[in-house]
A = this chain, B = another copy of it.
Amino acid sequence: MSFDFDQAMPFARNTLYADLRRDSGPAWDAYVTHRFVHALAAGTLPHAEFLAWMVQDYLYLVHYTRAYALLIYKSETVADMRGAANIVFGLLNNEMSLHRQHLRQAGMTESDLDQAQEAIETLAYGRYIMDRAQAGDVLDLVVTLSACLAGYGEIGLRLLHDPQTSQADHPYRSWIETYGGSDYQGLVREGLAHMEQLSARHGGAARYPLLLKQFRQAVWLEAAFWDAGRSMGRG
């Protein structure tokens, strides 16, 4: 893909996030250029695997949302509480709602989803972020979640600019437009801008080695998570 990510996301330079991404090196590449992502771009990903993965992604989003609920709880000002509450509201009523609509077309109800078994990759990643969100402070929390928030933004943007994905009947076009689109890209920009502010107030520079360790673990779990749908097929 010839798309220049660094040019497209100028906010990501000279920031805590830019350092974390760069220093995650091979783990980051394993995440954003995973077989699943390539097959999604090429439109060759089997639909059954995509659906099985989306069920797991929905189950993961439950915990991602719970982590943002802890951000409301950990915020230091009422304005920050409102910001975190807006994210929770958006996740429950927009992002998870899109998943539910998509999965309803495949015959799954919300109650089926509440009862669905989590893959080991989902358990690992979902509960890892919960643990960091509870045990650390606001900066630990947003840094750990940023691997998902910004990584999906990067993948969405890459795929949107990938010539393979441009045809109108591409099977995963709507997924790509969700994460590559301006709404989600705006959320990424806001989230990373907030992370920079928290980093300044909470000593991000001095804490870099510990923050990087958490970020890398989250990135490693993101890469593993692409196989969550397959994993359930086997189990």
Size category of the binding interface on chain A: 35 or more
CA distance in complex: A88, B124 (Å): 24
Looking across the interface, which residue of chain B has its beta carbon closest to that of A213?
A: B76
* Residues of B with C-beta under 8 A to A73: 66, 69-70, 73, 135
Inter-chain contact B110/A92, CB cutoff 8 Å:
no
Interface SS of chain A: helix, strand, loop or mixed? Answer: helix
CA distance in complex: A55, B45 (Å): 37
A48 to chain B, nearest CB (A): 23
* Residues of B with C-beta under 8 A to A135: 73-74, 137
Inter-chain contact B206/A210, CB cutoff 8 Å:
no
Residues of A within 8 A of B (CB): 62, 65-66, 69-70, 72-74, 76-79, 81-82, 85, 88-89, 92-93, 96, 110, 113-114, 120-121, 123-125, 127-128, 130-131, 134-137, 140, 200-207, 209-210, 217, 221, 224
